[in-house]
């Protein structure tokens, strides 16, 4: 007897009503809301409660009273019951679950959870157009909540479904290149840089750089980010391509690409080269109202100034970056930069100490006057 057979024998020993309620519970996934189960099980409330009580008493289900949900005591039990469903029965249960969740998404616990659940159920109900639309929505919701690993999973699922859905039934405003870009971005932000590189290269292979230079530039930038994270020297070429392709006219894309180029030069300790690029990024970002990109470029400039010995200027630039968060209409993506400011202040202090050590080692050096920080700058100012 296999483990699956042993688990199913335990389920088969239950009364028929308890077995009946386990089927939709298994199709629902790891955990199911009581009201969702009631809507799908097709049982009267007293019969449903009696069946659930039996399943809980026999330690097949576990009640979660604080959340009004149920889960299988062991994941293998849920998999065994779900696997034992007849094909038509499985499709029908997943379709009914998806229909209820479309009408009452709160039963999934959250907006992002509802979209992900819909993608899961519509796909197993073989309604691929709805599964594709739900996967794209789930990816967007997860990315908005900074759950980039979840967003990556959903965008990859959408890519798997793309060719199976007729063009007329695909989500409007989205194409394969856009999905690849979103998947690459989510993969990079969740630390899956090797996968991000593969996805970005696939997108670039399918994109006409002449017709869509802005999209191509941003894709090259994300490719450069992930290549750099992997320590691949090809990041330099990718960065150059991003700068080459972005149009000269002020735009959020130009501010972002120049900001990235400046940050990359700074991280390579090429501070003098980074500064003019960063200054242009700040000017462009300010002109187009891209406050998060302006803040990022100011952080880079502040660090460059600090490591070049201009401590007071560096701290002032970091303070300007922090103040940009209070501007009307600023992007909520400031939170991506906010953690950088305290770290940046510590880096300016590190730069001051490094300059101080050089001063002690070479008291007659001509650079000593510029290397020494004013006594008032002994403690980095709080920028955020």
The alpha carbons of the chain give a radius of gyration, in whole angstroms, of 28
Which residue(s) pair with 61 in the sheet? 72
Model confidence at 30, pLDDT cuts 50, 70, 90, reads confident
- What is the per-residue pLDDT for 111? 73
What single string gives the DSSP state of each residue in 92-109?
Answer: HHHHHHHHHHHH-GGGGS
Cβ of 351: how many Cβ atoms within 10 Å? 22
How far is the C-alpha of 291 from the C-alpha of 260, rounded, in Å? 15
What single string gives the DSSP state of each residue in 314-379?
Answer: HHHHHHHHHHGGGSTT--GGGGGTTTHHHHHHHHHHHHHHHHHHHHHH-TT-TTHHHHSPPGGGSS
Expressed in angstroms, the distance from the first to the final Cα of the chain is 63
Contact assessment for residue 115 and residue 137, using Cβ atoms and an 8 Å cutoff: yes
Mean pLDDT of the chain: 86
- What is the per-residue pLDDT for 330? 47
Contact assessment for residue 103 and residue 114, using Cβ atoms and an 8 Å cutoff: no
How far is the C-alpha of 20 from the C-alpha of 51, rounded, in Å? 8
**Tens of pLDDT, residues 275-310:** 999 999 999 999 999 999 999 999 999 999 999 999
> Which residue from 280, 204, 222, 218 is spatially nearest to 246, judged by alpha carbons?
218
In the three-class reduction of DSSP (H, G, I as helix; E, B as strand; rest coil), residue 33 is classed as: strand
**Tens of pLDDT, residues 311-355:** 999 999 999 998 876 555 444 443 343 334 444 444 545 555 555
Higher-confidence residue of 370 and 225: namely 225
């Amino acid at each position: 007897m296999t483990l699956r057979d042993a688990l199913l024998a335990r389920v088969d020993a239950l009364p028929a009503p308890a077995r009946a309620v386990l089927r939709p519970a298994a199709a629902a996934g790891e955990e199911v809301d009581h009201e969702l189960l009631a809507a799908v099980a097709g049982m009267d409330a007293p019969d449903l409660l009696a069946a659930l009580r039996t399943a809980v008493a026999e330690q097949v289900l576990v009640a979660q009273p604080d959340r009004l949900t149920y889960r299988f005591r062991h994941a293998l039990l849920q998999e065994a019951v779900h696997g034992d469903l007849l094909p038509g029965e499985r499709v029908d249960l997943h379709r009914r679950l998806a229909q209820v969740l479309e009408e009452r998404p709160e039963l999934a616990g959250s907006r992002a959870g509802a979209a992900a659940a819909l993608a899961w159920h519509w796909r197993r109900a073989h309604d691929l157009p709805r599964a594709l639309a739900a996967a794209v929505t789930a990816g967007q919701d997860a990315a908005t909540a900074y759950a980039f690993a979840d967003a990556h999973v959903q965008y990859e699922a959408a890519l798997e479904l793309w060719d199976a859905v007729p063009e007329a039934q695909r989500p409007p405003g989205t194409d394969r290149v856009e999905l690849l870009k979103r998947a690459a971005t989510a993969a990079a932000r969740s630390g899956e840089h090797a996968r991000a590189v593969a996805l970005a290269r696939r997108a670039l292979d399918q994109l006409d750089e002449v017709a869509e230079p802005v999209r191509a530039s941003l894709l090259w930038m994300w490719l450069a980010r992930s290549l750099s994270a992997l320590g691949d020297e090809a990041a330099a070429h990718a960065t150059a391509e991003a700068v080459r392709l972005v149009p000269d006219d002020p735009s959020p894309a130009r501010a972002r690409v120049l900001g990235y180029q400046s940050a990359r030069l700074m991280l390579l300790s090429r501070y003098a080269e980074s500064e003019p690029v960063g200054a242009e990024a700040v000017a462009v970002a300010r002109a187009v109202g891209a406050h998060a990109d302006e803040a990022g470029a100011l952080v880079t400039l502040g660090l460059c100034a600090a490591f070049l010995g201009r401590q007071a200027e560096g701290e002032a630039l970091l303070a300007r970056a922090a103040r940009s968060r209070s501007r009307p209409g600023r992007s909520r993506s400031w939170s991506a930069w906010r953690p950088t400011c305290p770290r940046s202040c510590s880096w300016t202090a590190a730069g001051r100490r490094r300059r101080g050590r050089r001063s002690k080692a070479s008291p007659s050096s001509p650079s000593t006057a510029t290397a020494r920080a004013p006594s008032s700058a002994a403690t980095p100012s709080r920028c955020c």
